[in-house]
Structure 1
């Protein structure tokens, strides 16, 4: 992982200057290249598309407005071979709230839409929130990379899984993920559809809170996997999961945060059926402040599907 200053700088460039870089090509029109196609995926990483769309929308709103919610639909898988265009439509201008609609287009066809709402900061004496789960801190926990390296030496992991891991370890690492329970990654036995992971972006993101939000939505798309925990899919007797992809994705921002500091990503999947899984998540600051909430539904289909 990135421990040296040179490695941290490299990872900062990958996140803010490459994967999240946008080029303004006309009024309300932006182009995103350097697209990330994860190993084992059929298309571009959805979190990158969400982050691009949020960055594009941010360039069109007053500086005093900050995102409080985004609601997205993935219409078609994107290709890493062609840049994606983002068109921003000004749907509402208000003194406290304003709204933007962003459409992502590739090869002339829409692949993604996002409705984003922004507001000015205000104070009110009435507040409440859930309590942060009591789990061990990130210190002493293995990262997902270290766990995968350990899996390569484990007899209970299938040969196919090991081939996948070897390819996965060649990817650029943009954020660190430390599962509270290593079994979230091994999945040899069925587990409850709940997981806790400490996450932080590698490198220094800077002091722009809006960039921290864009990076946070980038990593927030790593939530659908929690729906597989009850299946125990990585053991020798793996379930026949043949296809997974995101359908929609929503994020609500509650309090300011820094995504290059450790945060707890709490995930759960309350339901899976009809080829779809529902997932929910909360991103917590270490001091117990609820920073962000996430909800996503995705396709989770097996070889036994009737389609």
Structure 2
């Protein structure tokens, strides 16, 4: 990963996953994205950058198969984040890395990531991909947000949130299977399906596709826990931890179905589960995230 391909450079610049190496095992962010309506830097970017840093310290023959993160405090876009990589273990098949993301001398995120060489085994099984409409027949979140903003009855707070999908340079495309996903005009079961892909070329680097998927996986996952809530209520939410398992090869700039559900929310916390499927029905990634979900009692809509 030391030598970047031209098309890889293009995606790294646009998705804010590029890092500067400033010393052995120490990397620095070059840009941090803090969406207009977020209180801190986008957590998916911290996850993606931490995995980029870890991947640059492993042999080219080893690929990320899992990661486990804790968000310790919100990051700011005003100063760079330093990523300190500890080469925890180097084995013949598996190697482990521990990453600490530091800003203003304090840890904002910690990650443990594991990498392994490819191997095959005759025994396999997986869940069946849910039957659903394909992405070619759906509108993306930008198009849906523009339509939703024409609704005069939509609360002002929700209109401000929808503006993120129009104004913010996310460099990823989302196409919800349910076109009413962004409007939130009714209570729903805590389940949703969204087609996602990175916008731009990523090249052939397997680990970089996984970094891009990590970057995208954080957006909207915790939000699924709010689908059964009263639409007049207001909530404060933030991610606590984030785990991913990479099962099968995929390309992050090609469509994948992001199947999400929240089996539990209570005591100020919510758990969300995600599965990313290739269009051919192969399970590519599993995701689990827990986050803070607190009711804001004095909400003003």
Shorter-chain TM-score tier: over 0.9
CA gap 1:167/1:178 in 2 versus in 1, 3 angstroms = closer
- The equivalent residue for 1:67 is 64
> Is the contact made by 2:225 and 2:265 (CA closer than 8 Å) also made in structure 1?
yes
SS of equivalent residue, structure 1 residue 103 = strand
Which stretch shifts more, 182-191 or 102-111?
182-191
Residue in structure 1 matching 2:127, options 113, 126, 130:
130
Gaps of 5+ in 2: 1-6
CA RMSD of the aligned region, Å? 1.6
1:13 deviates by: 6.2
> Is the contact made by 2:196 and 2:258 (CA closer than 8 Å) also made in structure 1?
yes
* Matches of 2:9 and 2:149, distance apart in 1: 30
CA gap 1:12/1:203 in 2 versus in 1, 3 angstroms = farther
Q: Is the aligned partner of 1:270 residue 2:267?
A: no
Q: Is the aligned partner of 1:192 residue 2:189?
A: yes
1:163 deviates by: 3.4
* Matches of 1:141 and 1:198, distance apart in 2: 9
The within-5 A match list for 1:157-306 is 157-166=154-163, 168-222=165-219, 223-231=221-229, 233=231, 238-241=232-235, 243-304=236-297
1:204 deviates by: 1.5
SS of equivalent residue, structure 2 residue 121 = coil
- The equivalent residue for 1:6 is none
* Matches of 2:97 and 2:266, distance apart in 1: 33
1:232 deviates by: 5.0
> Is the contact made by 2:141 and 2:165 (CA closer than 8 Å) also made in structure 1?
no
1:240 deviates by: 2.2
Residue in structure 1 matching 2:138, options 141, 148, 171:
141
Which stretch shifts more, 123-132 or 151-160?
151-160
1:139 deviates by: 1.1
Q: Is the aligned partner of 1:17 residue 2:13?
A: yes
CA gap 1:178/1:13 in 2 versus in 1, 3 angstroms = farther
- The equivalent residue for 1:5 is none
1:14 deviates by: 6.7
> Is the contact made by 1:12 and 1:202 (CA closer than 8 Å) also made in structure 2?
no
1:168 deviates by: 4.6
1:167 deviates by: 5.3
The within-5 A match list for 1:43-54 is 43-54=40-51
Q: Is the aligned partner of 1:105 residue 2:136?
A: no
* Matches of 1:114 and 1:16, distance apart in 2: 20
- The equivalent residue for 1:7 is none
1:142 deviates by: 0.9
Gaps of 5+ in 1: 1-10
> Is the contact made by 1:250 and 1:296 (CA closer than 8 Å) also made in structure 2?
yes
> Is the contact made by 1:184 and 1:229 (CA closer than 8 Å) also made in structure 2?
no
